[in-house]
Each structure stands twice: as C-alpha cells, then as structure tokens.
Amino acid sequence: MKKRVLFCFFLLFLLVGLAACGEKSQEDVLKALDEKVQKMSGYKAEAKMTLQTGTEPQVYEIEIWHKSPSYYRVNLKNAERDQHQMILRNDEGVFVLTPALNKSFRFQSDWPQNSSQVYLYESLVKDILADSKAMFKATKDHYVFQTKTNYENKKMLPKQEIMLSKKDLSPVKVTVMDVDLNPLLTVEFAKVEWNANFDDNAFDVNKNMTRAQLDDANLATKEANQQAVPVMYPLYQLDGVELAEEKEFVTENGKRIIMTFTGEKSFTLVQEKAHALPTMSVSTSVSGEPVDLGFAVGALTEQSLTWSYKGVDFILASNDLTKEEMISIARSVQGKVVK
C-alpha cells in the first residue's frame, strides 16, 4: 500500500514538473523576444486598424514591410478606399506619400525609433522590454503583456495590451487605451511573414508612388475632381475653449475655411481642398516629425500640425496647445458636426 501511495506521489510530482517545464516564464518570453528581434532580417505583415476617437469607428487596412535594420514601408488605406498614405524609410530619409495628390514629403527624422509604433513588431517588443513593471499572463495560445506606451500623446494613451502568438511570438492584437483603460486604437494582425524577401526597389519613393497610383486610379480621379470642401470640426473638447469665429475665403482650388478657437488653450484650424500636383519630380522637405493620426500621417512641430484627409489639407496652429493636445484635436477632426 505504501509503495502504491509513494508511486502516486511520484507520478503526480512528475506530471506537475513536466507541466511547469512546458510553460515559459515571463523572463523566458522576454529573452526570446529580444533574440527574435536581434536575429530577424525583416518581415511583411497585414493588419486591420480600428480607431475609436471619432463619432463612429474608423477602419483601416495596413500593410507593413520591414527590412533590417532600417528600411520601412507602411501602407495605410481606408477600408472604403477614400484615404491612402504611405510611410517610407530608406537611406535618403523618411517620406510620407499621398498617391491621390501625387505628393511626397521628406522628413529629417529618427522615425520610427523616436516613439511607439502600434503596427511595428520591433517597436512593440521595445516597449515590452522597456517596461520593468509590465503585466504578463499566458493563455492557451497567447502571451499577453500590458505595458506603458511611448507615444507623442502618451498622457492620453498611456497603456497598451500586446497579444503575441505562443507558436512563434508573432503579433496577434494590440489595444491602445486611455487613462481609464478604454480601448481607443486596436490593431489586429491577419498575416506575418518572417524573414521575407524584397525587390531591389521595394523601398524606392518613385516606384512606390507609381505603383500606388496605378492601384488607386479611381481614388485619384475622385479626390482630384472633388468640388466642395466638406467642413469638418474637432470633436475633442478642451475646458473653456470654444469656436469664436469661422471665416470662408475663395481660393484658386475652391474654399478655405479658417476657424478660430478662443480660451485658455486657443488655436486656429485651417482647411482647404488639397491641390493635386501634375508630376512628382522632387519630394518637399517638411519640418517636424511624422506623427500617426490613425487615419492620416501628419507633420508635427512645437506649434503646428499639418495633415491631408479625403482630399483636404488641414493646418492646426497654436502657441498654447501641447503636442499631445494638438494630436488629440487632430484625431477628432473626422466628420461634419452641426454647430
């Protein structure tokens, strides 16, 4: 009888030990993530991004290419194909392309190293490794981390939950949350190809512009022929700040709308129909940093934020707003509002 009991205890101990050996600890996963990023030659990924900051969820398709160590191509499209932009990084710098307008802007920037990037794998891993207080849990198929973020507006978006596949540590889902842990931005990865091969011109500005314009021939015509500027208002509100004046001017391209908001955090918002260039001979140099607004890529400086959306150019200027506040206001300028 004693032998049988001892044998049962031994068997139970063995099973528990085997189970423990099969589950990686947080430290094991961190080490594996660091090694994966160090060894990979690059990847191609496809994802769907949902932005919750407007009146209705905005859904975008993202295609990500990365060739180690510093080549990037991020293709951002609206699900309804009425907005398309691309971020490129090569030896010449960082570029933001708007194919429908035949425009290319060049930044002297450290992007994407200067802040968190929700759709770049190595940026997500960097955030995980940098947060010594990151929360960790393992489910049946996934490893899940909750970490601090390093976004330009990290006070508004301080937390993110990163879900990784147990199989190969590939990204599955990223949820970026506000201070109350409400999800504002979600990226769901549909496909990841590790150590992918790239053509010689995969990250060339002119080649990508031409390719994108062929794909978006109908979109280019639609935006170029757009007659009316849809007046859009920011939904994000600051205490004590209100729309004091709205003026309309006639320009060569149509209308220019200038809104003046007054209060302790005063600012001006300008919008007008974007002018499509006949040819793209050279990229325009832009001051500031490229910043991802979710639906568009803008140029952020200490006192201004500019971006294009649905064939309209926007300029947000202020001496009072912080960078975080400018980004939050810009993210909310997505639709018509009855005043």
**Three-class DSSP labels, the chain:** CHHHHHHHHHHHHHHHHHHHHHCCCHHHHHHHHHHHHHHCCEEEEEEEEEECCCCCCEEEEEEEEEECCCEEEEEEEECCCCCEEEEEEECCEEEEEEHHHCEEEEECCCCCCCCCCCCCHHHHHHHHHHCCCCEEEECCCEEEEEEECCCCCCCCCCEEEEEEECCCCCEEEEEEECCCCCEEEEEEEEEEEECCCCCCCCCCHHHHHHHHHHHCHHHHHHHHCCCCCCCCECCCCCCCCEEEEEEEEEECCEEEEEEEEECCCCEEEEEEECCCCCCCCCCEEECCEEEECCCCEEEECCCEEEEEECCEEEEEECCCCCHHHHHHHHHHCCECCCC
Q: Which two tokens stand for residue 337?
A: 């509002």
| Bridge partners for 315 per DSSP | 270, 306
- The alpha-carbon radius of gyration of the chain (Å, integer) is 24
Asked if 231 and 263 sit in the same domain, the reply is yes
Looking up tokens 């390719």 gives: 211
Residue 48, domain CATH: 2.50.20.10
Q: Report residue 20's pLDDT band, with 50, 70 and 90 as the boundaries.
A: very low
pLDDT at 282: 63
pLDDT at 89: 96
Least confidently predicted of 47-51, 149-153, 223-227, 267-271: 223-227
Task: Identify the residue with better confidence: 155 or 265.
Answer: 265
Domain enclosing residue 251, as ranges: 221-332
Nearest-CA neighbor of 267 among 193, 186, 330, 182? Answer: 330
Asked if 105 and 187 sit in the same domain, the reply is yes
Least confidently predicted of 174-178, 203-207, 281-285, 315-319: 281-285
Instruction: State CA 25 to chain mean position distance.
Output: 30
Asked if 81 and 189 sit in the same domain, the reply is yes
Q: What average pLDDT does range 132-144 have in this prediction?
A: 96
Give dist(CA 222, CA 216) in Å, integer: 10
Q: Is the pLDDT of residue 9 over 50?
A: no
Q: What average pLDDT does range 226-242 have in this prediction?
A: 81
| Bridge partners for 285 per DSSP | 106
Last residue of a domain, one of 158, 180, 206: 206
Residue-wise pLDDT tens digits, 183-231: 989 999 999 999 999 998 999 999 999 888 877 665 545 544 555 557 8
| 19 in any annotated domain | no
Q: Is the pLDDT of residue 238 over 70?
A: yes
Asked if 295 and 200 sit in the same domain, the reply is no
Looking up tokens 């307008």 gives: 101
| 338 in any annotated domain | no
Asked if 240 and 320 sit in the same domain, the reply is yes
Give dist(CA 234, CA 275) in Å, integer: 23
Dihedrals phi, psi of 219, to nearest 5 degrees? -65, -40
| Bridge partners for 176 per DSSP | 160, 185
Amino acid at 155: K
Residue-wise pLDDT tens digits, 65-97: 999 999 999 999 885 656 789 999 999 999 999
Residue 273, domain CATH: 3.30.200.100
Asked if 193 and 238 sit in the same domain, the reply is no
Cis peptide preceding 234, ω within 30 of 0: no
Q: Is the pLDDT of residue 293 over 90?
A: no
Asked if 200 and 306 sit in the same domain, the reply is no
| 261 in any annotated domain | yes
| 80 in any annotated domain | yes
CA 166-169-173 angle, to 5 degrees, is 90
The total of structural domains in the chain comes to: 2
pLDDT at 159: 95
What percent of the chain is modeled with pLDDT above 90?
A: 56
Q: Which two tokens stand for residue 179?
A: 């201070």
pLDDT at 335: 61
pLDDT at 280: 56
